[in-house]
Structure 1
Amino acid sequence: METATPVQRRVTRPRADALRNRERIVAAAREMFVEFGAEVPFDEIARRAGVGNATVYRNFPDRDALAREVVCSVMDRTSEWVEEALAADGDAFEALSGFVHFAADERIGALCPMLSESFDQNHPDLVAARDRITELIQRLMTRAREAGQLRPDVELGDLMIAVSQLTRPLPGTACQGIDRFVHRHLQLLLDGMRAPARSELPGVAADLEGLRRV
């Protein structure tokens, strides 16, 4: 087996270190965006990540770039979870329920406010991550509906709006302070989505286009 030369190690090590630093920055930013909001100072993010300010700016030249990376990373992890659930081919509604609780742990609702009007909603990275997770959740819901487990008057937009609202911190309330309620309330939501429906829903279902308008 060939051994890397000192020159090769000097070339490859900075690349690995740079990747780890980038991952630490994204993880720290996600935590702090959830705790304090999208306007948290970069130097605080750098401190929590254990890197210098210059390293943060070298990886992310502005706040939108960092926020986009955080949001895309959350969507990518969630997509990977859904792909595994679909491949497992288990109980359809249990898979859908698992996605909802996983999304709550990823703090999807707390991250939504970062996508402000000034944020580039059409950036290729964001569009690709969003399209991927949307298609996967649609497949989860279709499976549950075809199995007779999901009430027919619930659409993807209904689910995502509810999940976003139930996982978003209340005004003036630390996100960690509502942890003990989030999964409880999400389970109430899921029970209400099961077929057969026990009531008629008011208004119209929020489909994918309605979700994008929101």
Structure 2
Amino acid sequence: MGGMATAERRAQPARVDATRNRERIIAAAREAFVEHGPSVPLDAIAHRAGVGNATLYRHFADRHELIHVVASYSLARITEQAESALAEETDAFEALRRFVHRAADERVGALCSMLYEGFDKDDPHVVDARIRLETAVEQLMDNARQSGQLRSDVGLGDLMVAITQLTRPVAGTECALIERYMHRHLQIFIDGLRAPARSELSGTAARFEDFEADRA
């Protein structure tokens, strides 16, 4: 009995270390993917995380699995930002503004290609995560419309496409350059969301379904 208890105590620090290593790898991979794209060498990610290559492969079988986990993590973080803004902000438009800036900090644009390449869009977990995000952001937008602060001709897809495009590095430039201007440009965009609208938008409001159709 005593031997089993001792073994369990020894196993606990090992599990804690394994969890920390996994978290370090995910964080390092996200940073590397944002800076260099999804083709960054895995040994560079391991070096950034402060672990050996063998440790990385113990947690992630291959690049595809690592990309999937990083993209899933980022999607969950963005959703949490939307839900926190809903719960904590009393002003509906301020909640929307807060979400836009916090989502931008997750660097959605830089990670966008992974959300497409790393995900099976029909995976039940992916579908559930997307629905949770859509629900939270739609509620933010509905609240802002009902308060009379958000123009009525902007859709969920419009908002998410703008966040994606304004957080994507400009072709041929270093990733750090976008960080100098990202929130400034997002603020210009947010001001354009306010009601009353000063112009009439062409076409129809974008929806997530439109972009899924483009992928099919």
TM-score (norm: length of structure 1):
0.92
Counterpart position of 1:169: 169
- Contact 1:110-1:169 at 8 Å conserved across structures: yes
Counterpart position of 2:109: 109
Specify the code of the residue in structure 2 equivalent to 1:148. G
Deviation at 1:60, TM superposition (A): 1.3
Residue by residue over 1:162-212, the C-alpha shift from the partner in whole angstroms, topping out at 9 and shown as x without a partner, is 110111001111111121211111111111111111100011110232243
Cα separation, 2, equivalents of 1:108 and 1:174: 16
| Distance change >3 Å, CA 81–CA 128, structure 1 → 2 | same
What number of residue pairs does the alignment pair up? 210
- Contact 1:163-1:186 at 8 Å conserved across structures: yes
Cα separation, 2, equivalents of 1:115 and 1:105: 16
- Contact 1:157-1:208 at 8 Å conserved across structures: yes
Q: RMSD of aligned C-alpha atoms?
A: 1.6
Counterpart position of 1:190: 190
**Structure 2: stretches of 5+ with no match in the other structure:** none
Task: Single out whichever of 110-119 and 151-160 deviates more from structure 2.
Answer: 110-119
| Distance change >3 Å, CA 128–CA 55, structure 1 → 2 | farther
Percent identity over paired residues: 57
| Distance change >3 Å, CA 38–CA 77, structure 1 → 2 | same
TM-score (norm: length of structure 2):
0.91
Alignment of 1:64 onto 2:59:
no
| Distance change >3 Å, CA 166–CA 123, structure 1 → 2 | same
Cα separation, 2, equivalents of 1:84 and 1:179: 23
Specify the code of the residue in structure 2 equivalent to 1:129. A
Deviation at 1:109, TM superposition (A): 0.5
Cα separation, 2, equivalents of 1:7 and 1:119: 39
Alignment of 1:133 onto 2:159:
no
| Distance change >3 Å, CA 102–CA 47, structure 1 → 2 | same
Cα separation, 1, equivalents of 2:68 and 2:128: 12
Cα separation, 2, equivalents of 1:137 and 1:207: 12
